[in-house]
Amino acid sequence: MKKSILFILFAVHTTLIYAQQLSIIPEPVSVQQLSGTFVLKNNFSIGLSSPDKDSKRVGDYLAKKIALATGYTFTTGKIEKSTSIRLRLFNSKKRNAELGTEGYLLNVTPDSVSIVANEPAGLFYGAQTFLQLLPKEIESKSVVNNISWSSPCVQVKDFPRFAWRGMMLDVSRHFFTKEQVKQFIGEMVRYKYNRLHWHLTDDEGWRVEIKSLPKLTQVGAWRAERVGPWHEMSAPTADEPRTTGGFYTQDDIREVVQYAKDNFVEVLPEIDMPGHSLAFIASYPDISGTPGKYEVNSGERIIDWSLPGHPALIDNTISPANEKTYEYIDKVFTEVAQLFPLEYIHMGGDECSKNFWEKSEAIAQLMKKENLKDMNEVQSYFVKRVEKIIQSKGKKMVGWDEILEGGLTANATVMSWRGTKGGIEAAKLGHSVIMTPNTYAYIDLYQGEPIVEPPTYSMLRLNQSYKFEPVPEGVEPKLILGGQANLWSERLINWRSVQYMTYPRSFAIIESLWSPKENKNWNSFVKKVEKHFERFDAAEMKYSTAIYDCIFKPTKDTEGKLQIELGTEIEGLDIYFTFDETNPDNFYPKYNSPLSVPKDAVMLKVVTYRGNKQIGKQINMPIAVLKKRAKIQ
């Protein structure tokens, strides 16, 4: 018995070591590396056990992906004895219950590659894992010569922990084209994400064509052009051209939704209300409870985030007391429901400033009529009416966790973003929950030292994202549908910036959503991330290397003077520094203990090395900034 236990422990340990070496993201349920390699040859073949169109599409996807980088020709058809890559579906009577609808078995031998699954989605995810076993050059968009296109021989059993593995893309603050959205989908599925949360409307733009309300895109999709610090830009003048923005026609939406479906992704549309609705109000001012002329926001400050309740400087809310509001909303969701097959529609509900409601006579009358005690109950009244509209279209409603405030109907699904508190509360009330806490999953935040990173408003390092646990303690696991990474675009002005913020933190989120909790390991994850950086280089994709940069920890010493601790997010790096205005390298002093600032020094310059190779950015840190962070006058 003891020998058996020792053998099992050794096998598990060996499996984890091989998985680390293989650098598969997300970490599979189990991996066993075998002796030998499989070498892909020209004129390779992909065989299918089933003629269904979804399996065939997986075969074509894999063949074209391989052919793009290798230049090899290929054939697809039935499985023959000589078939190189074999995609099999279990017979309906012999389905593997453990694998579910998205799991797979991958077996790579010296002679062939076999992927077996219950459903084509499982074949697709197995194909993604196999591609990660091939050399990094497989990610190239052009032919790479003089490469042995080999894979280690392995046995992989894999299936997801959660059904909802999402990424949110905000196209309202900055518009991204139909082709870019499809590219986003194509990139996320490589790591087994299966939900695109599409944030389509906000103060800065309305992005979906609603034919019964044409002004939504004639007016609401466009704003004045601005370049500069977000929320600090100047308001547009009356005669300034509104030329920045764009929208998706309904045919565009159908094309994206079909592309997503072809890649086993479902699309969740979000129409944000009653707050974040300035583009809606600019198009149809009669839904506002505050008379006036409204413009689509161009980046100027419209909310005072420093005060409790974040009061609005301009009323950007739809009025719950206006019956016209619900007529328009019904028209919007009628058309949205027809465009998106997913059973859910997201109605927003977040960050609704209520200071203008407090001054509204119509709101006061509504409160008296409906016996509403406070502004939270006013919003709850609105949310419940919107939910009935969404349900009338045959859909279920999702909302941000603010929809809990003031009371919520039994059928709504809560997306918890303000930490995990809202998700815990919702689950205890019996609601289904999608976990997306800003403390772990907001990938638009700083991921490294702010002084050298694009400006944003808070910090989320990779190691913090990797701590994401979708099921909080004490919550019924079956109520947690899964989770997602959220990418807000206030400060994402182009596609390269989207990629930079998405990677590598989306790797951390998917490993929490797909992989077994017990398989996660930070140190092995970092090694895998570095291997995927190499793959991204081959694909010419942008990503952040902030994990290599120095971290500053300024404090006061016992005399109230500045003391500086330096560190790094990952192990094995050395930090070199100087106070003398010159640029340090690995021949300068190496950091070993907290630093005191020499008299008259105004700048601390640091750089990180691995061995004798510079790996992190040089950071020039003003002493004045460190004093401010340490709260030293």
User: Active-site residue numbers?
Assistant: 202, 276, 351
Q: Alpha carbon of 171 to those of 87, 89, 370: distances in Å? A: 36, 37, 36
> DSSP string covering 529-544, please?
HHHHHHHHHHHT----
> DSSP string covering 557-597, please?
-TTS-EEEEEEESSSS-EEEEESSSSPP-TTSPBP-S-EEP
Cα-flanking dihedrals φ and ψ of residue 532, to 5°? Answer: -75, -25
Q: Alpha carbon of 311 to those of 277, 356, 419, 605: distances in Å? A: 15, 8, 22, 41
Spatial separation of the C-alpha atoms in residues 166 and 177, rounded to whole Å: 20
Spatial separation of the C-alpha atoms in residues 444 and 438, rounded to whole Å: 10
Token pair of 533 as six digits: 């950086």
Give the pairing of strands 113-117 and 104-108: antiparallel
Spatial separation of the C-alpha atoms in residues 313 and 189, rounded to whole Å: 41
- On whether the CB atoms of residues 122 and 98 are closer than 8 A, the answer is no
Spatial separation of the C-alpha atoms in residues 6 and 338, rounded to whole Å: 58
Hey, CA dihedral for 539, 541, 543, 548, is it positive or negative?
positive
Which residue bears the tokens 């006013």?
378
- Output the CA angle 603-609-613, nearest 5 degrees: 125
HSE-CB for 68 with a 13 A CA cutoff: 15
Q: Which of 193, 148, 196 is nearest to 176 (CA)?
A: 196
Token pair of 552 as six digits: 């500053």
Which residue bears the tokens 């909790």?
517
Spatial separation of the C-alpha atoms in residues 46 and 38, rounded to whole Å: 15
Spatial separation of the C-alpha atoms in residues 496 and 486, rounded to whole Å: 17
Q: Which residues of 26-52 are buried (b: 16+ CB within 10 A; e: fewer)?
A: bbbbbbebeeeebebeeebbbbbbeee
Give the pairing of strands 562-568 and 595-596: antiparallel
Total Cβ atoms within 10 A of residue 515: 22
- List residues bridging with 575 in a β-sheet: 608
Total Cβ atoms within 10 A of residue 238: 6
